[in-house]
Structure 1
């Protein structure tokens, strides 16, 4: 399976390394606006194969030369600002960048599943769906999968339970208007209740990405691991459930929007949407995040 990574900055190169170590796919293409950076990463990763269990064809290319991929992962972004306080600040410039990239990428990779990592991810997932003309099932934004992973990691410290054994989702905007689904959060069949301690953990999650960003200037490990998880589910047709940003005509009474909802992911992309029964507090949070994302879409697009 041929996987193309568009953008070999901190996230793209870390994702490529994870895919090589795990042996996901058999053909990896690295593409970057600075082609020499992609060439350097490809050569370095080729040298890594001697320590890996599975062989893989690894190459670099110009972005406009990427073609016939099964999966296209877009991590390309305008440079981050040291003063950035919200992902939406990247919106205008990254919208212009995607208007340049996506038409060519979709034409030259007509059967691909697109995975959007670049922020603001909900806006750019919606835009990619529009520009590509692909069905929404084949355009997936990482969205709150990374926030849900952070939530589980912090909850695991409190509960002393492995993060993978915790069932706890964060849905909505990948940003300050996301919300936790405590009504269906559990471990071993025991509910993780909505109490002040767990709410405080959720509040930490909302700021976690920026905490890392302020400390080292970017995030890369967790978001690359989350993206690798999505790619694995596609490559191996795992039918994994995860919260991802996707365009939908209607979900839980919300119409014509794009943000993270629980979906099942396999070889064809999004296989189906899941519809958990939300409690009144969660329904109110859903309506709030939907309205704000819709407003952002109208403003930026």
Structure 2
């Protein structure tokens, strides 16, 4: 299993470190615009192997040299200047970056699965789907996986139950237009009710990413762990149910869009879309999220990128 991480900033480096500790591949390639940084990370991680149970080949490469990968983890992003109030601020520059990057990666890695981390992730996943030519099952955005994990972690404190035993998702946009799926939330088949205290928990989750960003200037640990969960499901073909951003041709009348729903992930990528029953307020929240994401897609992408 060969995994290439495209972009060696805070997020890419954290994902690489987590992959090495978890031993999730045989061959790890680090690539980015700053080749010296990629080389330094690769060397540092090689030294880390002395403390790991599984050995692997770790190397750095220029972006154009990345080839024959099984999984491409795309974290590359244009740098920001100063504080950021919305992930959409990254949109214009990262759209241009993807237009240059994705076709080259696809040519050199024709059989890869593509895991998109770059923000705004729903738009970037849609764009990668449009310009790559890959089947939609092979393109996944990290979406609301981290948001759902944060939600379960905070709910677990109230419920006094391990987060992994809670079935509670946040769906929609990885951003302000996400929503909690309380209608199907449960622990041990006992329903987790929607009430003001739990709405407060969701509101805390809603702002958590920017709380971290504003405190230290970036987020990296939780997103690295989330990426590894997706990669683990692929490597071991474990068919885990994970909320990810995925292209949707048509669901509940929503067409040609990209946002997070629960999907089943295995060696071939997204094996199956799951379609939970939504109550009336959840359907309205989904429709709002889908409409606003599509507006953003139409605003950021030129007509030749939008095949709808």
Q: TM-score normalised by the shorter chain: which range applies?
A: over 0.9
What is the aligned partner in structure 2 of residue 66 from structure 1? 66
> In structure 2, what is the Cα distance between the partners aligned to 1:234 and 1:36?
30
Query: What is the Cα deviation at residue 118 of structure 1?
Result: 0.5
Q: Contact conserved, 1:82 with 1:217, CA < 8 A, in 2?
A: no
What is the aligned partner in structure 1 of residue 231 from structure 2? 231
Matches within 5 A, 1:104-253: 104-253=104-253
Alignment root-mean-square deviation, CA = 0.7
What is the aligned partner in structure 1 of residue 305 from structure 2? none
Deviations 1:75-97 (Å, cap 9, x if unpaired)? 01011333210000000000001
Q: Contact conserved, 2:126 with 2:258, CA < 8 A, in 1?
A: yes
Where does the alignment leave 5 or more consecutive residues of structure 1 unmatched? none
> In structure 2, what is the Cα distance between the partners aligned to 1:56 and 1:164?
29
Deviations 1:105-154 (Å, cap 9, x if unpaired)? 01100000000000000000000011111011001000000100010111
Where does the alignment leave 5 or more consecutive residues of structure 2 unmatched? 302-308
**Is the aligned partner of 1:257 residue 2:260?**
no
Q: Contact conserved, 1:254 with 1:287, CA < 8 A, in 2?
A: yes
What is the aligned partner in structure 1 of residue 304 from structure 2? none
Moved more, 154-163 or 167-176: 154-163
Query: What is the Cα deviation at residue 156 of structure 1?
Result: 1.0
Give the match's secondary structure for 1:262.
Answer: strand
What is the aligned partner in structure 1 of residue 28 from structure 2? 28
Query: What is the Cα deviation at residue 188 of structure 1?
Result: 1.0
Q: Contact conserved, 2:83 with 2:214, CA < 8 A, in 1?
A: no
TM-score, scaled to structure 1: 0.99
Matches within 5 A, 1:4-43: 4-43=4-43
Q: Contact conserved, 2:30 with 2:38, CA < 8 A, in 1?
A: yes
Deviations 1:245-282 (Å, cap 9, x if unpaired)? 01110123311110101100000000010011111010
The size of the alignment, in residue pairs, is 301
Query: What is the Cα deviation at residue 239 of structure 1?
Result: 0.2
> In structure 2, what is the Cα distance between the partners aligned to 1:150 and 1:299?
30
Query: What is the Cα deviation at residue 159 of structure 1?
Result: 1.4
Q: Contact conserved, 1:252 with 1:275, CA < 8 A, in 2?
A: no
What is the aligned partner in structure 2 of residue 82 from structure 1? 82
> In structure 2, what is the Cα distance between the partners aligned to 1:147 and 1:92?
24
> In structure 1, what is the Cα distance between the partners aligned to 2:172 and 2:104?
29
> In structure 2, what is the Cα distance between the partners aligned to 1:7 and 1:99?
15
What is the aligned partner in structure 1 of residue 306 from structure 2? none
What is the aligned partner in structure 2 of residue 2 from structure 1? 2
Give the match's secondary structure for 1:111.
Answer: coil
What is the aligned partner in structure 2 of residue 45 from structure 1? 45
Query: What is the Cα deviation at residue 157 of structure 1?
Result: 1.3
TM-score, scaled to structure 2: 0.97
What is the aligned partner in structure 2 of residue 267 from structure 1? 267
> In structure 2, what is the Cα distance between the partners aligned to 1:195 and 1:60?
50
Give the match's secondary structure for 2:60.
Answer: strand
Deviations 1:214-259 (Å, cap 9, x if unpaired)? 0000000000000000001001001000110011101233111101
